[in-house]
């Protein structure tokens, strides 16, 4: 018995290495979904929804006049030539006391208005794979005011599966939010398109670049938010201990060489080869994929926090890089259906993947790569989808965990959540090897959550619901209301309480997303 418990601890520890639990993205629940076959009615236009930047008072002053004075000082110091044909910038995203001068030096190249500014930065907090996330809000707000989003442009992006809405990716993501006050200061009136990049393959990057390139125009400025080499033990990157400042510069300039030649493949390979900790490398590669050989590249300013503070034990590098030319519009990218039907053979593959992954961990006490399981991946299974995996034993729940929002490819969601359900559902002990033949696997594939104009549009017993208000949110899955015997009012009251709100807070000012589920699995054993 002691050996068995020891094995369970080891297995759980191994599995926990690959699990990142993010509030709002990973939800535990009991029971299975109902299959929903009714179509979702198109959502009416949502009321104004504002995302207020969480950075004021920490990353920069929370007083508008103090912020403007800081920017004006940086602007007066900058020696940057204006660039009439500016189409893109790479800017840093540290606190302004560190990278503000470098960022404003790049902004000084701006001499004309733009109708639309696309800001693309990396996700530092929320794990995402093979997706770029855009928010479903109407405005971003900072101490310098409220900037409208280009909601029509965002809606068009969401027609393509590579672009998704992962709400928590935006709420506290400094890489995008830090650029907004700078842009508000320099350009009085524009519409914002904020994009948060997940960890993506070059194929996905080029796909997203192609879509964006087909949509940008002469009135579009693209801003890539990225810091460069993060050096020091606290960043897990200290490949050298001598001539640190010189070697950091060499690493940074090695990366810039590929940016200068607009070589996204070379840039991606360089980062992998050197391990250079360039947090916005996905966004940079996307920009390079959008540009063509007629584009000009200018290194406006480069510095490091080590240089600024006189301490290279912990240093981050900052670039401002300006790109000139004209957008060479690519062919229109045809929208692709998001919720492609899961055919029987793919269902069998996913069930097999879940069972084999659990069996492999129980047998080998390590997490396999999907390739080790001989799993065939087709385009349907690569598309980002939310999914839950439910394990039952003797008809009773034995574990269930999943993703509400489509933050990774379907096969990866099933793979990871099968292991989560077996070894990381805190309601149950870790699954034992002797239980493997007694469990059944059930998979619920979710449609992408969609906004509804009113809570009256929510269909009890069909729709799962995400409620959001005042920075709080909570989720009920489709079967909850029916199992509890709740009507709509009772369901939303309970959902508001679950979110930490008052019982009636759902009646005014709350936003709602709904989704459905396709459920399939093994017969009970």
DSSP string, 84-150: TTEEEEEE--S-HHHHHHHHHHHHTT--S--SEEEEEEE-SSS--BS-EE----SEEEETTEEEEB-
Q: For residue 483, what pLDDT band results from cuts at 50, 70 and 90? A: confident
Q: Is the pLDDT of residue 133 over 80?
A: yes
pLDDT for 317: 98
pLDDT for 525: 63
Q: Is the pLDDT of residue 413 over 50?
A: yes
Q: Is the pLDDT of residue 35 over 50?
A: no
Q: What is the mean pLDDT of residues 153-158?
A: 96
Q: What is the mean pLDDT of residues 61-69?
A: 94
Pairing of strands 315-324, 396-403: unpaired
Yes or no: say if 95 and 56 are a contact pair by the CB < 8 Å rule: no
Yes or no: say if 446 and 388 are a contact pair by the CB < 8 Å rule: yes
Yes or no: say if 388 and 402 are a contact pair by the CB < 8 Å rule: yes
Q: Is the pLDDT of residue 166 over 70?
A: yes
Q: From 495, 476, 448, 455, select the one nearest 134 (Cα to Cα).
A: 448
pLDDT for 494: 96
Percentage of the chain beyond pLDDT 90 is 78
Q: What 8-state DSSP symbol labels residue 457?
A: G
Neighbour-count burial for 285-322, b at 16+ CB within 10 Å, e otherwise = bbbbbbbeeebebbebbbbbbbbbeeebeebbbbbbbb
Q: From 299, 284, 302, select the one nearest 224 (Cα to Cα).
A: 284
Yes or no: say if 189 and 149 are a contact pair by the CB < 8 Å rule: no
Query: pLDDT per residue over 485-494, tens digit each?
Result: 999 999 999 9
pTM, to two decimals = 0.84
Residues of the chain with CATH 3.40.830.10: 89-324
Who's near 163: CB < 8 A, 6+ residues apart? 131, 132, 133, 134, 157, 195, 208, 211
Query: pLDDT per residue over 85-111, tens digit each?
Result: 999 999 999 999 999 999 999 999 999
pLDDT for 47: 61
Q: Is the pLDDT of residue 320 over 80?
A: yes
What CATH superfamily is the domain 89-324? LigB-like (3.40.830.10)
Which tokens is 304 given? 């490091």
pLDDT for 207: 96
Q: For residue 335, what pLDDT band results from cuts at 50, 70 and 90? A: confident
Which tokens is 401 given? 């965990």
Residues of the chain with CATH 3.30.700.20: 1-46+339-525
**For all residues of the chain together, what is the average pLDDT?**
89
Q: From 331, 337, 325, select the one nearest 298 (Cα to Cα).
A: 325
CA atoms of 147 and 180, how far apart (whole Å): 9
Radius of gyration of the chain (CA): 24
Q: For residue 144, what pLDDT band results from cuts at 50, 70 and 90? A: very high
Q: For residue 236, what pLDDT band results from cuts at 50, 70 and 90? A: very high
Q: What 8-state DSSP symbol labels residue 478?
A: T
CA atoms of 119 and 282, how far apart (whole Å): 13
H or E stretch including 151?
helix 151-157
* Third-level CATH fold of 1-46+339-525: Glycoprotein, Type 4 Pilin (3.30.700)
């Amino acid at each position: 018995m002691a050996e068995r418990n020891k094995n369970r601890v080891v297995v759980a520890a191994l599995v926990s290495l690959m699990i990142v639990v993010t509030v709002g993205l990973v939800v535990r629940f009991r029971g299975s979904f109902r299959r929903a076959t009714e179509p979702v009615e198109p959502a009416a236009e949502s009321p104004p929804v504002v995302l207020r930047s969480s950075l004021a008072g920490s990353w920069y002053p929370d007083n508008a006049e103090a912020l403007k004075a800081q920017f004006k000082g940086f602007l007066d110091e900058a020696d940057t030539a204006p660039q009439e044909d500016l189409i893109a910038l790479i800017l840093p995203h540290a606190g302004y006391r560190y990278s503000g001068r470098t960022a404003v030096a790049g902004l000084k190249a701006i001499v004309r208005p733009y109708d639309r500014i696309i800001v693309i930065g990396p996700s530092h907090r929320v794990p995402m794979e093979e997706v770029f996330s855009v928010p479903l809000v109407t405005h971003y707000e900072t101490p310098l005011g409220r900037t409208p989003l280009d909601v029509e442009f965002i809606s068009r992006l969401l027609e393509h599966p590579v672009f998704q809405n992962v709400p928590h990716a935006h709420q506290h993501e400094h890489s995008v939010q830090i650029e907004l006050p700078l842009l508000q200061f320099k350009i009085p009136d524009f519409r914002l398109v904020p994009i948060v990049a997940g960890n993506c393959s070059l194929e996905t990057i080029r796909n997203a670049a192609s879509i964006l390139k087909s949509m940008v125009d002469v009135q579009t400025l693209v801003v890539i938010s990225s810091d460069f080499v993060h050096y020091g033990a606290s960043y897990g990157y200290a490949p050298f201990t001598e001539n640190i400042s010189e070697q950091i510069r060499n690493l940074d300039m090695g990366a810039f060489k590929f940016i200068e030649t607009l070589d996204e493949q070379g840039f991606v390979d360089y980062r992998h080869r050197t391990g250079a900790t360039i947090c916005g490398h996905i966004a940079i590669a996307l920009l390079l994929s959008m540009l063509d050989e007629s584009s000009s590249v200018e290194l406006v300013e480069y510095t490091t926090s080590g240089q600024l503070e006189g301490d290279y034990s912990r240093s981050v590098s900052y670039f401002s890089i300006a790109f000139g030319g004209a957008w060479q519009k690519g062919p229109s990218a045809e929208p692709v259906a998001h919720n492609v039907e899961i055919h029987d053979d793919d269902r069998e593959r996913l069930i097999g993947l879940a069972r084999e992954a659990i069996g492999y961990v129980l047998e080998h006490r390590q997490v396999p790569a999907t390739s080790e399981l001989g799993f065939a991946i087709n385009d349907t299974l690569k598309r980002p989808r939310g999914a839950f995996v439910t394990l039952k034993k003797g008809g009773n729940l034995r574990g269930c965990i999943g993703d509400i929002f489509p933050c990774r490819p379907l096969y990866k969601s099933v793979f990871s959540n099968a292991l989560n359900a077996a070894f990381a559902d805190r309601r149950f002990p870790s699954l034992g090897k002797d239980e493997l033949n007694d469990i059944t696997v059930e998979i619920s594939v979710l449609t992408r959550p969609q906004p509804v104009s009113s809570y009256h549009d929510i269909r009890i017993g069909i729709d799962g619901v995400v409620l959001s208000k005042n920075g709080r949110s909570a989720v009920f899955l489709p079967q909850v209301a029916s199992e509890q015997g709740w009507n709509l009012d009772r369901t939303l009251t309970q959902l508001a309480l679950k979110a930490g709100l008052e019982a009636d807070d759902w009646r005014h000012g709350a936003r709602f997303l709904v989704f459905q589920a396709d459920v399939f699995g093994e017969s009970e054993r």
